[in-house]
Structure 1
Amino acid sequence: MGRDLMAVLGRFTWLLAVLATLSVPAAAYDRSYYTTDQPYSLTATWMVAVNLARKSCFLGINYANGVNIEIGLDQSRAEPTYFMMFGSKSWNYEEGQTYGVTLKYDGASTWTGKGFGIGVNAIRGVALEGLEKAAIDEMAAGKRFSLKIGRRDYGRYPLTGTRHALAKMDECIAAIADGRISLAEIAREYEEDRVSPPPNGNFGAKKDETPDDPHGGTPDKADKDAVRAYGTGFFVNGDGYLLTNAHVVEGCEDAMVRQGISGIQPATIVAREPTNDLAILKVNRTSPVFGKFRGAPQIRLGDPIVAFGYPLSGYLSSTGNLSKGVVSALAGAGDEASRLQISAPIQSGNSGGAVVDQSGHVVGVVVAKSNVTPHGTGVEVIQNANFAIKSGIVQFFLDAHQVRYEVEPPGEEMKTPDVANIARSFTAQVICEVKG
């Protein structure tokens, strides 16, 4: 008993010494050090992402109670070090202020040190900088931890899948080192999107295109001086922000939104990310009804889903169409971790629409339909293999562009007509126009 106690005390003293170096000037780290610049992978519990400011990668997780945690490596300075960040939209820690942080793993080993207040978009929290790798290894070895900041106890949190996620983070860091991930290219894409969406004269449907156009539909023949392509989007908050696919608004000179049979209104393209095929639009009106993302427990293989959108504009209903299916795989083509495979039928024009569960919560964004293999190739034609971007990727994209959204646990399952009414209420048709 005495030997075990001394071992625990010795471990505590060593860990305390490790954290004694955490007092880093807060001014050295602005919010860009805690944002997602490009998602890399999505594990069962953690998101792995690239951060340009740190020239490295980090992990992120959003617990059901709204607490966010980031863990990563900082390679922006002479000596690489690790960091942790704990934050929530409901917290109010003052940026730059010093706070004591206590972490207790599995009710045994305890870490204490000093962090500083940060603000990352709508999140307020406390960051621990200058950590040694031993701090990260300790977290990876644990099953759960409790968090205390100052005198405030925030309870216990599971660490399921952390070791696997850290291995993925190491893969991401290695990909930066060997050039498979180009930080310069990511920075260039962000700069282009920050200034304006790049014009592209070859965008969208040509005047003789069929409904199989990947941009979402047929041109509007009523206007001979313009070419229009169509997609779907959905509101994510009450401030008029919508999500859609980046390819839906690629090369747009004028973007417009139409909800139901109401009139068309102009939309501003706030951000585009071609890598994950996501874009944010903004209309100049409030949106009292908007989609809410599903929190824990996450969607499972075989769970029923619904996709609502505006496919085949000019052919099908102008009030939107519903398709039903199930989650047929928890990864996309080639085991792409950022995607879901769904069996719901998807047509041109569905791109950018929400995929919702039976409680009406958003679990993904429609991104692609399966390509039909030409006859005579000897390869079986893929049927009912359509894909959606996972909601975790979408939330990181919104966070990166400071667009607020809501996450809540799934409620009781409803009948499909009720789910359809919910999805219809926050979904809109997106129209992209290129003038001739």
Structure 2
Amino acid sequence: MASVEVARSLDIHVVTMELRLGSIQIGHAHAQKPFLSLEFERKVISTWGLLMKRIVAIVFVWAGLFSCAPSNAAGPFGTIHLGGWHGGAYTNDADGSFSHCAALSSYASGISLLVSYNVKNQWLLAFASSKFHLTKGETFPIDLTFDGESQVRLFGTALSDQLLSAIMVPNALRDFKKATLMVAVAKGATFQFALSSTGPLLPALSNCVTRVKAAGVDRAGDFSVAAANPSGEAKPPATSEQKAADSAKPDKLVGRNGTGFVVSQSGHIVTNNHVVDGCVGDIQGNLSGEAQVPLRVVSTDKNNDLALLQGPAGSFKAMASIRDKPIRSGDSVVAIGYPYHGLLTSDFTVTTGIVSSLSGILNDTRFLQISAAVQPGNSGGPLLDSKGQVVGIVAAKLNALKFASATGTIPENINFAIKPGALRDFLDNSVVPYQTSDGQADLGTPDIAKNARDFTLLISCMAASEKSKK
């Protein structure tokens, strides 16, 4: 692609967005006959470059926040040509510094996908079309389904009336790389994308950033080939002995702990999907002070971060009761879980607070915001009301350091739980009977904790460490 015309500014204003698109069927990407005009493709790539100047992300379960400052972008320098994907390296035109690498693929419907990797090691995915009629500024969820199986929720922002962008979380990046079909749903509109060459595309973008950071845009070349070393010379191919040695190296395994709770007389247990996703070997569960029992994964819902496990018949004598009535802002809640298991205590911990809000990050109505303190290890644990009924599944806490970096203030008591409606739907879809109740008299916190002891489990497994995944 020829050098793009410089786009001059980008200001994000929070305003209402309308997405005036119905259900759209999109075919395979075409490399030789782009369906967008060259002028529009240049505009898309250039506008995309503006986003790369400054992004501050707060990422947990499925959520993200980002902000952008005005900047300009020039390029592409070098080339990326893989199937229907075309792009290269881009610079900040204000100071000439390298900012990111990006590639675009056009579809028959007139919609383009844009993937970018920047100097801060952040991946972004964008949807662009001259047919879009967006209102710039509003952030809203984008639900992605890959090959009809794995599901991921991103949070996108309309950067212009024709461009929608979202930060790619790790599991979305992994699925995007290997999938052949991606279905995206946003604001009631459905888009289907036949994916090709995404496997080599992501390494090519990473190669582009690595090489340009090391040697500069002046030495930019074809980034579609294998990565080069800092001197700019191609690395020699690995010998068969090196390949065998690399493939034989196992990932470093570390212990992973979370919390779950029994929901049926058949020994079904609910926890967060992120607690068991990636577990290697057996998953174990145990009530406080009791022996571990093996657990099997029955079903998962990545989009809502839920997982259903099951223990041997007769392993548990009690089960949690799910509240029928809606929870209210200001209601008291109790969080039960196993944070920092073994470092602080081997028993479960009990924290109290209130429901601060009936929605989560960016008004996500699947979540409650709670003030009860939670820590790593609380994930998947029950959130109980004053009668001891389940009113949520503890899911996440706000990353205080990243939030402070983005806003200049340190957040306090901002944690999140999945609402029971999503839990009931998940159990209904999994054909698991469960108990609901309106409750009787209020209980004291010690009595709530005593009852929870009989149905709240420590979930343990071995999983690859984050460092070994990199």
TM-score (norm 2): 0.45
TM-score (norm 1): 0.49
Larger Rg: 2
